[in-house]
Amino acid sequence: MNLVACPDCDHQVSRIAEACPKCGRPLKHRQTTTGILAALVIGLLLCWLLVTFILPRLGIWYPV
């Protein structure tokens, strides 16, 4: 069995469940939102690194 404890009521809920059957707290949706936010932050960080360090070194673009 693949169970996790609900953060709100500690009820054992299946990992694939969309929401806790006892209190109705959405479980899967929260993880997806966190994943999208993490991907966005990593993407922005990579863009910042590219613009600040890599492009000026290659002589393609100079920050003012």
The bridge status of strand 3-5 relative to strand 12-14 is antiparallel
Q: What minimum distance in Å lies between the beta carbon of 37 and Zn ion?
A: 23
CA distance 50 to 46: 6
Pick the closer one to Zn ion by CB: 24 or 35.
24
Nearest to Zn ion of 22, 30 (CB atom): 22
d(CA 61, CA 52): 9
Residues numbered 2 to 61 that lie near Zn ion (CB under 5 A) are: 6, 8-9, 11, 20, 22-23, 25
- At 18, list the tokens: 């969309």
Which of residues 19 and 55 has its CB atom nearest to Zn ion in the complex?
19
